[in-house]
């Protein structure tokens, strides 16, 4: 009997694992009885790794050695604006790695977000193995649709470190649509609105005769529930500093307690008009312990989060435009991600799409169920279903004037392939060095730098006479491969890839054997 392929939703706040049983995608309970597992990893005083609910229980007593929200670090450069804004709000240390990536420092040891994420994936693997009573070696792991090439590769590397062969990287909105569509046989045009703990995605799909075709995806990988929490935390810190002349940003324990309280208050305000925030002994002053007690109202939360709520419209409008549709063309809007439970978010969805969204699915579980459904498609168990996804960003090469020569446009159906010919610019040039970028901005430097490709072994000729055809191939996971051929002779030129960051194959092998 073949081993099962599990589906994993590797979330910013919580993760979930599912497996297909018969025709049903079943969410597997973790060891504590929960259907989702906190995406948290701690190192205790003895250096042992603690994952999930036990990690969350010690986040206040062990804040500097408890990592949460690592998905927001994966595939990111340390000097990026996103990391600069994030670092002051975290109780654990984010540091620059040797190659310039954002890593974390625990007990004086530096480790990559891939290694931290691998502990969460390994936990998901163990949960599935205990349930199935057999070893699990393969998984389908979901990522935000708007993740770039670097973030997708980093997620796949995290799986390898965890001892999993990642059979596919599946976009989260697409996974949700698969799980939903598998049980709703009718043809329809679907908008998937996915607002999770750290990222926001929207995808427009058409479901027709068992074919799931993604027409467009757009999103914001810096917008999620953590940002709503941070608005509450900042408000409380400002008020506390004003009233008590104490800076809570300098106290990791206080920051963790505020994070917990903010998340709890946000959740409660989805079903109530107001909630009491009560944090005794939050800090110590020369006069003694200082407490925090405050009522937070729903309208107050919505007011302070207005810029975040406003930011939801543009990606939806862009996705509709790229799909050549208007809001009135959409038959159903599917809500995914825990933040989609917030009443103000649901009101924005109604404003944007002009219709009430569907609430017939569990927004925390449907992505993992979709990943398990995809495993059945790949395994041939669901032969009547075909999935056609798209690449979220344009891919191209840097040319003069800080511009990008695009080989593949965003929202091209994958797998796909494109070629473009480049010529030498100097006499007797024996190699060409090209920089590859991914993104949708006109200025190439505002896009994501993927790496440098050196095309060698070219015949020495006058400038412009040697032409090299560069071939971009994007697989179903949205991952890029490059090849190059010297045009006249048909001789394949050597391609040396120097990636912008991430882990090397040797580092991945070493980490997977720890």
What does each C-alpha distance from 341 to 116, 204, 374, 419 come to in angstroms?
A: 28, 20, 26, 44
Count of CB atoms situated within 10 Å of the CB of 31 = 13
Tell me 501's DSSP state: S
Question: Tokens standing for 344?
Answer: 């103000």
Distance CA 343, CA 228 (A): 13
> Annotated catalytic residue: which of 114, 115, 149, 172?
172
β pairing state of 165-171 and 37-38:
unpaired
* Spatial contact of 313 and 223, defined as CB atoms under 8 Å apart: no
Among this protein's residues, is 505 annotated catalytic? no
> Annotated catalytic residue: which of 9, 114, 201, 477?
9
CB neighbour list of residue 171: distance below 8 Å, 6 or more residues apart? 142, 143, 144, 145, 201, 203, 214, 217, 389, 392, 478
> Annotated catalytic residue: which of 138, 148, 149, 194?
194
Name the strand (E) or helix (H) holding 195: strand 188-195
Name the strand (E) or helix (H) holding 109: strand 109-111
Question: Tokens standing for 220?
Answer: 């914001």
Among this protein's residues, is 194 annotated catalytic? yes
**CA angle 265–270–274, rounded 5-degree value:** 55
Among this protein's residues, is 71 annotated catalytic? yes
> Annotated catalytic residue: which of 71, 76, 156, 259?
71
Among this protein's residues, is 238 annotated catalytic? no
Task: Quickly list H helices, 323-365.
Answer: 343-353
CB neighbour list of residue 140: distance below 8 Å, 6 or more residues apart? 5, 6, 7, 8, 166, 167, 168, 169, 170, 371, 372, 374, 375, 378
Please give the positions annotated as active site.
Answer: 9, 71, 172, 194
């Amino acid at each position: 009997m073949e081993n099962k392929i599990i589906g994993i939703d590797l979330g910013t706040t919580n993760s979930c694992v599912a497996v297909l049983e018969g025709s049903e995608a079943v969410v597997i309970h973790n060891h504590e009885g929960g259907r989702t597992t906190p995406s948290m990893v701690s190192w205790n005083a003895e250096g042992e790794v603690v994952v999930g609910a036990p990690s969350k229980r010690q986040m206040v007593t062990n804040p500097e050695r408890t990592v949460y929200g690592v998905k927001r670090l994966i595939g990111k450069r340390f000097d990026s604006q996103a990391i600069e804004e994030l670092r002051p709000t975290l109780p654990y240390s984010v540091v620059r790695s040797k190659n310039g990536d954002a890593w974390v420092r625990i007990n004086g040891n530096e480790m990559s977000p891939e290694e931290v994420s691998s502990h969460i994936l390994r936990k998901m693997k163990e949960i599935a193995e205990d349930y199935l009573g057999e070893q699990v070696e393969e998984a389908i792991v979901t990522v935000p649709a708007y993740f770039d090439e670097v973030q997708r590769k980093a997620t796949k590397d995290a799986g390898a470190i965890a001892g999993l062969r990642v059979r596919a990287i599946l976009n989260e909105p697409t996974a949700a649509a698969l799980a939903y569509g598998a049980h709703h046989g009718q043809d329809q045009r679907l908008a998937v609105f996915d607002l999770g703990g750290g990222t926001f995605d929207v995808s427009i799909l058409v479901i027709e005769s068992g074919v799931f075709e993604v027409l467009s995806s757009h999103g914001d990988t810096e917008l999620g529930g953590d940002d709503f929490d941070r608005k509450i935390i900042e408000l409380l810190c400002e008020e506390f500093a004003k009233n008590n002349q104490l800076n809570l940003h300098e106290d990791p324990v206080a920051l963790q307690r505020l994070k917990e309280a903010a998340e709890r208050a946000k959740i409660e305000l989805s079903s109530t008009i107001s909630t009491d925030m009560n944090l005794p002994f939050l800090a110590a002053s020369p006069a003694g312990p200082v407490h925090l007690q405050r009522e937070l109202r729903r309208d107050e939360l919505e007011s302070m989060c207005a810029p975040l709520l406003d930011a939801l419209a543009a990606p939806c409008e862009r996705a509709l435009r790229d799909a050549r549709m208007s809001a009135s063309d959409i038959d159903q809007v599917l809500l995914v991600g825990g933040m989609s439970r917030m009443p103000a978010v649901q009101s924005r969805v109604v404003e944007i799409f002009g219709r009430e969204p569907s609430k017939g699915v569990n927004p925390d579980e449907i992505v993992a169920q979709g990943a398990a459904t995809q495993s059945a498609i790949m395994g041939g168990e669901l032969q009547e279903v075909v999935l056609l996804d798209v690449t979220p960003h344009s891919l191209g090469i840097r040319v003069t004037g800080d511009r990008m020569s695009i080989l593949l446009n965003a929202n091209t159906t994958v797998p796909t392939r494109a070629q473009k010919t480049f010529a030498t610019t100097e006499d007797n040039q024996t190699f060409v060095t090209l920089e590859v970028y991914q993104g949708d901005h006109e200025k190439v430097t505002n896009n994501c730098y993927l790496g440098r490709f050196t095309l060698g072994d070219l015949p020495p000729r006058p400038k412009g006479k040697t032409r090299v055809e560069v071939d971009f191939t994007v697989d179903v996971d949205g991952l890029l491969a490059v090849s190059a051929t010297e045009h006249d002779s048909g001789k394949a030129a050597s391609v040396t890839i120097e990636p912008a960051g991430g882990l090397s194959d040797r580092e991945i092998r070493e980490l997977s054997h720890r």
